Amino acid sequence: MNGASREALAAARERLDALTDNTSVDAAKLAEELASVTSLLDREVSLRRVLTDPAQSGESKAELATRLLSGQVGGETVDLVSGLVRSRWSQSRDLVDSVEELANTADLTAAQRGGNLDDVEDELFRFGRIVGSDQELRSALTSRTATASAKGELLRSLLGGKAQPVTERIIVRLVTHPRGRSLEAGLDSLSKLAAERRNRMVAVVTSAVPLSDRQKQRLGAALAKLYGREMHLNLDVDPSVLGGVSVRVGDEIINGTVAERLDDATRRMAG
């Protein structure tokens, strides 16, 4: 997002945080309603263009959104969407992306309240690894010929009772309504959003053998000091790295594996 859209989303995030700070607000219900608004705006192209038209006043757009949504969703959702359409947007699609992000954030807030946010983060990461290693499953979940309901049923059979309800909900939404994204990109975005709920960064750590609790604590502390933010570790074991650890934070890779050092030595000898 650029310019006006980025500012509009930042303001919407603040309004959502202020709203969900009130524990009487049902964050899971709010997420469900915002997800339904996302589907509406994604489906109705002309509507989202009207709601982001810079030639229309913010108040008139908010009144239209209120008329459309009142009685369909709760007052909190109506207020959030009305606030969104009052803002200026660089592109009409940015509005849909933002409502979708708010829906996922509300669901993650529900997990945080229940003390399950760490589990959700880990489950998102593990699901991504499973999909990445199972081409048949990935094909089934991304098939253009399979219906959304069929994909949803497949996911519920895989995740039902084995993952947190929030994890299941947001993955089902992503797979059944990908909105042009790859499955991997969508899962990565969800993982980052979950980490941001605690103002943390995500580090993907690959080691030849599982790290001990002490090693995990020391690595987490070192990375937090390096980046100046609390760090959530997504742990993966890959015997091919031979030894040491490889750490990826965003686009940055800190590689201390034996395999990497051997490769580096081979490249220097060849040169």
Q: Is 77 exposed, middle or buried (0-12, 13-18, 19+ CB in 10 A)?
A: buried
Q: Which two tokens stand for residue 126?
A: 């593990």
pTM higher than the cut 0.85: no
DSSP state of 243: S
3 state SS of 71: coil
pLDDT tens-place string over residues 96-148: 999 999 999 999 999 988 889 999 999 999 999 999 999 999 999 999 999 99
The pLDDT of residue 240: 81
Amino acid identity of residue 30, one-letter, is L
Give bridge partners of residue 248 from the DSSP assignment: 204, 253
Banded pLDDT at 263 (limits 50, 70, 90) = low
d(CA 201, CA 198): 9
The pLDDT of residue 269: 53
Determine which of 46-60, 133-147, 223-237 has the lowest per-residue pLDDT on average: 223-237
Q: Which residues contact 32 (CB under 8 A, 6 or more apart)?
A: 103, 169
